[in-house]
Amino acid sequence: MTWLVWRQHRNEAYFAAAALAVFAVLLLVTGRQMASQYHSALTACAASHSCGKLNTLSLGTPVMFLLVTLTAVVPCLLGVFWGGPLVARELETGTSQFAWMQSITRSRWLTVKAGWALLAAAAWGGAVSALVTWWSSPVNALNHQNFQPGQFDIQGIVPVGYALFAVALGIAAGTLLRRTLPALAVTIGVFAALRIVVADYLRPHYITAITTTFSFLHPPPSPTGSYWLVSGGLVGPGGQVPSSPANGGPTLSLDGVPISINNMPSACRALVFQDPLKTSSCLAAHGYHGLMTYQPASRYWAFQGIETGIFVLLAAALIAVTAIAVTRRDA
C-alpha cells in the first residue's frame, strides 16, 4: 500500500521537498547574517556599556519578515493540497473502487494513505517551523515578541499541530463531501475560523493570566523576558475599573501598556494629544493606577504544548470520522 501511495503522490513530495529546500536556503543565509549582526552589536555594546539601548537595533529585511510571517498559512496549504484531494479525488474519479476491490481492507487503505499524509504534514510543518524558530532567535532575544499572537503561531511546535489538523480536516471534508473543490473551500474556511477562535478566545485562558496594578509615577514592575501582555487598563481612585473595555477604542501606550484613552479622566484625555509625556503624571495625580494582565515568559512552552494538544486531538477526531465514513458507507 505504501508503494501505491508513493507512486500516486511522489510528484507532490518532490515539489514539496524542492519548495522546502528553497525556503531553507533563504532562511539559512539571511538567518546567519542576522545572527552575526546581533552578536557583533552585543559585543560592541558590551564594550561601550550601552546594551540598554540595543532595542533600537534593526534586524533583517521587511521582505524576509513578511515571508516568515506568511508561513502561518503553510498548514492551511498542506490541508488544501495534501488533505483535501487525498480521498476526495479517488471518490470523484472512481479509483477508490479499483483500490477497494484489491485484496486489502478499506481501513488499511485509509490508514496507510492518511498515515503518510499526516506524517509528511508533520515533518514539513515541523521543518518550516524549526527554520523559522531558528531564524527568529536573534529577534526573539532582542524584542521578546515570540509569545505574542502572530509570532507564537509560527514558532515552536504549534505549527506541527496546525499542519496535522489541517490535513486531517482536508481528508475528512473530502471524504464526507466526496468532491475535491468543496472540500478545499470547507478546509480553508473551517481552518481559518478555528485558528482565530482558538487564538483570540481560548489561548488567553489556558492558564489564568497574572494581573497586576502599577503606579504611573514609577516604571512598572515589568515582567521579564518574552511575556505576553494580554491586556492593559486603568484602575480609578476608588479602585473601580472603568466600564469601557480595556482594549476598546484608541489606546495610548504608557510604560509599554496600552491604556484606553476613553477611560481616562477628561483632564488627562486632553493631554494625550498636547503633551503625551505628561499624561502619566496627570493620571497619577488623579489617583489612577495602571492595570496589566499578562502571561509570563515561563509559560511559553506550556502554552505551546496545550495549543498543539488541542489541534492534535481535533485531528484525531477527524480521522476517526473519516475511518467510519470510509468503512461503513457505500463506495
Partner 1 sequence: MMASSNAAVIQTRGLSKRYRKVTALSEAAVTVPEGRISALIGPNGAGKTTLLRLLAGLARPTGGEVAVLGSPPSQDPAFLAGIGFLAQEIPLYRRLTVEDHIGIGAHLNSRWDGVSVRRRLESLGIPLDQTVGTLSGGQRAQLSLSLTLAKRPRLLLLDEPVAALDPLARRQFLAHLAEAVAGGGLTVVLSSHLLADLERVCDHLILLAASQVQLCGDIDTLLAEHQVLVGPRKDTTAIERDHTIVQAVRTARQTTLLIRRKGPVIDPAFEAADVGLEELVLGYMGQHAGPAPAQLTTIGEDQ
- Point out which residues bind partner 1 (CB under 8 A): 1, 3-4, 7-8, 93-107, 327, 330-331
The CA distance from 149 to 221, in Å, is: 23
Can you read off the three cell numbers belonging to residue 71? 508561513
Of residues 93 and 211, the one with the C-beta less far from partner 1: 93
Least distance from partner 1 to the Cβ atom of residue 6, Å: 10
Q: Residue count of the chain, please give it.
A: 331
Nearest to 204 by CA among 241, 231, 232: 231
Of residues 36 and 107, the one with the C-beta less far from partner 1: 107
Of residues 92 and 255, the one with the C-beta less far from partner 1: 92
The CA distance from 164 to 228, in Å, is: 26
The CA distance from 328 to 322, in Å, is: 10
Of residues 72 and 112, the one with the C-beta less far from partner 1: 112
Cβ neighbourhood burial of 152 (10 Å; 0-12, 13-18, 19+):
buried
Of residues 101 and 277, the one with the C-beta less far from partner 1: 101
Least distance from partner 1 to the Cβ atom of residue 100, Å: 7
Residue 284 · residue 259 · CB < 8 Å: no
Least distance from partner 1 to the Cβ atom of residue 4, Å: 5
Helix (H) or strand (E) holding 228: strand 228-235
Least distance from partner 1 to the Cβ atom of residue 104, Å: 5
Least distance from partner 1 to the Cβ atom of residue 331, Å: 4
